[in-house]
Each structure stands twice: as structure tokens, then as C-alpha cells.
């Protein structure tokens, strides 16, 4: 309220802002954009060969398994070097050191999968593609993959990673014997 000099009360009416509806429209547009971002995108991964030609589309429902029972979650990673590293301690730990070059900046490594059948370890290292605008430069990678060797007897073991074969030898049983030295 305002008062003038004659002590008469002059009421001033406040007008509501006419821009309030603009904020509602902006909020609705943002909400629709978020809904499209989270629910409108496909859950599939396009498999691309070395020349970036689409080969097939793999979804979580169509992802298969190879002949060794390992999941194929994408194309196999290109591998240029592999090495088996056997630790000196006990229990013996065995790891694969794998390196190579990914074809572009949108290709990433998946977690490796492994299974053992007798004296052979089968390991798959696959890739996935994320993004649409990618650098076309090769992206080098190095990955250490620990093999599950706990409880294995001594002997020679084969490793098959993405079709490449290597071998290593356990010179002693990799089993902890809790009964040794016991009087019971």
C-alpha cells in the first residue's frame, strides 16, 4: 500500500507475471527430453567388421555362446601380443598379458570371460561400440587377465584366447594341503 500526502490510502494492484507459463513449457520439454534419453534408446549393440560395415545386431536376448560355452557379447578384440606370466609364490598365480589396437575411439573392451575344460583355459575378450561420432585412429590397449588356477594339480596347461594358443606349466600342485604336518 502507498500513502499520499492527504492521508488517503491509494491501493496499488500488483499484476501477476505473464512469464510463468514459459517455465512450465521449458520444464515439460526437459522432462520429455529425459524420457527420450533414458527410454527411447535401443539396448542393442551393432557389431562392425574391420571396414565399419554392419555385420549383425546383438542384443541381450540374442547374445550367444561359442563352442566352449563362453558368452559372445560382441566381436572378438584384435590381439597383437599375448604373454603368460606365472608368479613365483604360493599359491601360484597365472595371468595373461594381452595387448592390441582397437579400431576407433568408440570401441571399448568388455570384461573377459573364461572357462576351463581339463587342462585348457578358454578366454574370450570381446569389444563393444558406443557412440556415433568416433575418431578413426587406432587406440592401443593392454589388459591383464588373471586365470583361475586355484586348486590345480601340477602339469602343462593350454590357454586359448580369441583363437590364439599359449601354454604354461605348473611345476607343483597349486593346492593348499591343510592336513600336512597334522598329528590328528
pLDDT in tens, the chain (184 residues): 455 555 556 556 566 666 778 888 888 999 888 777 766 644 443 433 333 444 444 443 445 766 766 777 788 999 999 999 998 888 889 999 999 999 999 999 999 999 999 999 999 999 999 888 888 899 999 999 999 998 899 999 999 999 899 999 998 888 876 665 555 5
What is the C-alpha to C-alpha distance for residues 166 and 53, in angstroms, rounded to an integer?
Answer: 31
Cell numbers that stand for 88 in this block = 613365483
**Strand 64-65 relative to strand 71-72, pairing:** antiparallel
Q: Are 155 and 118 contacting, i.e. CB atoms less than 8 angstroms apart?
A: no
Q: What is the pTM of this model?
A: 0.59
- Cell numbers given for 104: 576407433
Count Cα atoms within 13 angstroms, Cβ side, for 101: 7
Distance of CA 20 to the CA centre of its chain: 45
Amino acid at each position: 500500500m502507498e500513502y499520499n500526502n492527504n492521508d488517503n490510502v491509494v491501493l496499488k494492484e500488483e499484476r501477476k507475471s505473464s512469464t510463468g507459463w514459459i517455465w512450465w513449457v521449458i520444464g515439460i520439454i526437459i522432462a520429455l527430453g529425459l524420457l527420450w534419453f533414458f527410454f527411447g534408446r535401443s539396448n542393442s549393440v551393432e557389431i562392425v567388421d574391420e571396414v565399419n560395415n554392419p555385420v549383425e545386431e546383438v542384443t541381450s536376448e540374442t547374445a550367444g555362446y561359442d563352442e566352449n560355452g563362453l558368452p559372445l557379447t560382441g566381436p572378438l578384440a584384435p590381439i597383437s601380443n599375448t604373454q603368460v606370466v606365472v608368479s613365483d609364490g604360493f599359491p601360484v598365480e597365472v595371468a595373461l598379458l594381452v595387448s592390441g589396437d582397437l579400431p576407433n575411439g568408440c570401441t571399448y573392451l568388455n570384461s573377459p570371460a573364461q572357462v576351463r575344460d581339463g587342462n585348457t583355459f578358454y578366454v574370450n575378450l570381446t569389444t563393444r561400440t558406443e557412440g556415433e561420432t568416433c575418431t578413426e585412429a587406432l587406440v592401443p590397449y593392454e589388459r591383464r587377465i588373471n586365470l583361475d588356477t586355484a586348486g590345480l594339480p601340477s602339469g602343462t596347461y593350454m590357454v586359448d584366447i580369441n583363437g590364439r594358443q599359449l601354454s604354461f606349466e605348473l611345476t607343483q600342485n597349486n593346492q593348499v594341503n591343510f592336513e600336512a604336518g597334522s598329528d590328528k
